[in-house]
Amino acid sequence: MNFSEVFKLSSLLCKFSPDGKYLASCVQYRLVVRDVNTLQVLQLYTCLDQIQHAEWSADSRFILCAMYKRGLVQVWSLEQPEWHCRIDEGSAGLVASCWSPDGRHILNTTEFHLRITVWSLCTKSVSYIKYPKACQQGISFTRDGRYLALAERRDCKDHVSIFVCSDWQLLRHFDTETQDLAGIEWAPNGCVLAVWDTCLEYKVLLYSLDGRLLSAYCAYEWSLGVKSVAWSPSSQFLAVGSYDGKVRILNHVTWKMITEFGHPATVTNPKIVVYKEAEKNPRLALGRLAFPPPRAAAGAASSTESKYEIASVPVSLQTLKPVADRANPKVGIGALAFSPDNYFLATRNDSVPNAVWIWDIQKLKLFVVLEQLSPVRSFQWDPQQPRLAICTGGNKVYLWSPAGCVSVQVPGEGDFQVLSLCWHFSGDSLALLSKDHFCLCFLETEERVGTAFGRPGDHT
């Protein structure tokens, strides 16, 4: 495992291009595009203000930079550096900007969600979509890029409109049986749209492409409801994370619940492997490091290395008592994600903030629990294989695979605090993002993965 040098970064804006050839990063008002293999700067673009959002087009030929404070979007071309495009929303303002799947249209959401403006880079035409709803996840494109589902609010009722992305014509429009719609998401196969209600009302609705209600699911009443939702890559399962600390799995045939996963504070099943992160003396382990130790330590936390130990059950996990009189209580399933091969589901219960739970989807049971020394900030699956990367805001990155797990310290001067991470689509590298810097972590090639993780009994 090797690390690149550290580069400057602002606002955690660092993204691989969809084709995997480029890496874009933002430093204040500058956009830097590098070659993924050499990390040499290919293009340097200067925007009119500090960049608050950056996004690649699906074909990796363009990149947009949104400056919400100024109501501006600037678009840059990699093939023609002298070409540029500027979109000014003027007095309407700007709160969100994204590409359409064809990479030739940009959807801008104005302030107060008055409308969505669709700008064409090819014809310079402009289309308007009224009544977009201000919610957690109100826009969803099908994976094949043919359709757009948009959550709307008109006359104090929730609606969903489905548009054909080729000409932005309305295909279907229907109202939803929700009190206050919170989000929508297409299944990966594009056949079913999941719609979920506000956390005050437990309701998950499944609609077909023509607007028919296929099923409605409610697990309980009179308590906080849905907190997170994720489709499996095969579209066979819908995982619903709830405020009661459980994940419910719905099947694609009847849309009924086939099982629920609880997240108790104590793991008692002796068949469950619980990995606990533990500090270790760095001087005893220098010979086993795959990279040089940090040349300068910013503090005691920087120089402290860690390893995973297998805990003997029963294991009591660290729990957090939620503050009852504040908004957004730290309870419920705040994050969940399926592995790309559909074999595993990773979850985080916000009231057990240091733990990541990994479930076996084929057997529908708990497989592994990883307990970190610090609260888990983010985790993400390798796009090519069942390998999970985790960060906790410290100077380490953690990797789990069915063969075992490893804690790796990010080398370099100072204390590099990993706040977020993102995978290259090949799974060969990983971008680690801190508040002001980023670096790349290059992983072993596939034939050496077993060596990198060690044998199942060798957990370091």
Domain ranges of the chain: 143-262, 266-280+306-321+338-409
The owner of tokens 């402290």 is 304
Give per-residue pLDDT as tens, 324-380: 777 777 899 999 999 999 999 999 999 999 999 999 999 999 999 999 999 999 999
Lowest mean pLDDT among 151-165, 324-338, 392-406: 324-338
Q: How far apart are CA 82 and CA 78, in angstroms?
A: 9
Q: Please report which confidence band the pLDDT of residue 290 belongs to, taking 50, 70 and 90 as the band edges.
A: very low
**DSSP per position, 242-272:** ETTSEEEEEETTT--EEEEEE--SEE--TTS
Contact between residue 99 and residue 64 where contact means Cβ atoms under 8 Å apart: yes
Instruction: Please state, in angstroms and rounded to a whole number, the distance separating the CA atoms of residues 256 and 385.
Output: 29
The predicted structure's pLDDT at residue 438: 96
Q: Compute CA distances 78 → 48, 316, 355, whole Å.
A: 19, 52, 41
pTM of the model: 0.90
pLDDT at position 413, please?
72
Q: What is the pLDDT of residues 90-136, one digit of tens each?
A: 999 999 999 999 999 999 999 999 999 999 999 999 999 999 999 98
pLDDT tens-digit map of 56-87: 999 999 999 999 999 999 999 999 999 989 99
> What's the rounded mean pLDDT across residues 218-228?
95
Ramachandran region of residue 82, left (φ > 0), alpha (ψ -120 to 50) or beta?
alpha
Determine which of 28-37, 135-144, 150-159, 404-413 has the lowest per-residue pLDDT on average.
Answer: 404-413
The confidence score (pLDDT) of residue 355 equals 98
pLDDT at 303: 54
Q: What percent of the chain has pLDDT over 90?
A: 87
Q: What is the average pLDDT across 402-425?
A: 92
CA dist 428 to 56, 68, 341, 412, Å? 20, 34, 17, 21
CA distance 345 to 367: 10
Asked if pLDDT for residue 408 goes beyond 50, the answer is: yes
pLDDT at 299: 37
Closest listed residue to residue 102, CA positions, set 18, 189, 16: 18
CATH code 2.130.10.10 for 143-262: yes
Task: Please check the confidence at residue 89 and state whether its pLDDT lies above 70.
Answer: yes
Strands (E), 100-245: 105-109, 115-120, 126-130, 139-141, 147-154, 157-164, 169-175, 183-186, 192-196, 204-208, 213-217, 226-231, 237-242
